[in-house]
Amino acid sequence: MTSIQSVIAGQQVIDSERTFEGLVQEYKNRIHSYVCRMTRDSADAEDITQEVFIRAYQSMSAFRYDAAVDTWLYRIATNLVIDRFRRGQRAPKTVPTETEESFLELPTTSREDDPHATLQLGELQTQVQKAIHSLPAKLRAVVILHDMEGLSYEQVAETVGCPVGTVKSRLFNARLLLKRKLQYYMESEG
């Protein structure tokens, strides 16, 4: 089977140690998870993931070596997800056009909303993903990158292109909303 690297003329190399093929191997699942979380496992999540690596390959010559590779890939993925849904290629419910203020109007979960909810992990995970997806895109990206992908405040700031203080603020608001939305399940679990 032809390796990715042999397909690429000129042996594209990220740095002396890491080849493009190694980059794909190392980050494909992380980036795919991020895209899935941002799009709530949309059908074209893998297409978007593939597009991330194509864009990365195309822009490797412009890659700034003072930036971390993972931050660079997450940034490409974030822009692609936002672009994809801004163009309306997917269901409107995933369009990240909400303002940060609008999240205050989101309803919280209650026993009346889901009287047959179970405490099984699968159901809980579904509710967590649903709650995350109900967040405005700006808050969703920050909470996913920090709390699920494990990036630091600084890395998140670099990825989404805003100051660290804004990241903290968005994270605070995102968690506040998630706690409100998952209150019933958290109390049940607790």
Partner 1 sequence: MSCRKIQFLIQGYLDGEATSAERAAVEQHVERCGACAAELASSRQLLGLLGQDPQRSVSADFEQNLRAALRETRPAPGVAAWWERLRLQLEWRLRVPALVTAGSLAVALVAGVATLRVQDLRETQRERQEYVSTAVERYEQLQQAETKVNWDAMDASIDLNSGSVLTE
CB of 85 to partner 1, least distance (A): 18
Q: Within 131-190, which residues bind partner 1 (CB under 8 A)? A: 132, 143, 146-148, 153, 168, 171-172, 175, 178-179, 182, 186, 189-190
CA distances from 157 to 56, 102, 108, 116 (A): 20, 22, 28, 40
Q: 3-state SS of the chain: helix, strand, coil percent to 5? A: 65, 0, 35
Among 14, 40, 44, 50, binds partner 1 (CB under 8 A): 50
Among 14, 22, 26, 36, binds partner 1 (CB under 8 A): 36
Among 22, 26, 32, 95, binds partner 1 (CB under 8 A): 32
Pairwise CA distance, residues 91 & 111, whole Å: 28
CB of 105 to partner 1, least distance (A): 21
User: Cβ distance 173 to 100 under 8 Å?
Assistant: yes
- Kindly tell me which of 58 and 102 has the beta carbon lying closer to partner 1: 58
CB of 54 to partner 1, least distance (A): 6
Residue 122, both tokens: 């699968």
- Kindly tell me which of 118 and 125 has the beta carbon lying closer to partner 1: 125
Q: Which residues lie closer than 8 Å to 126 by C-beta, 6 or more apart? A: none
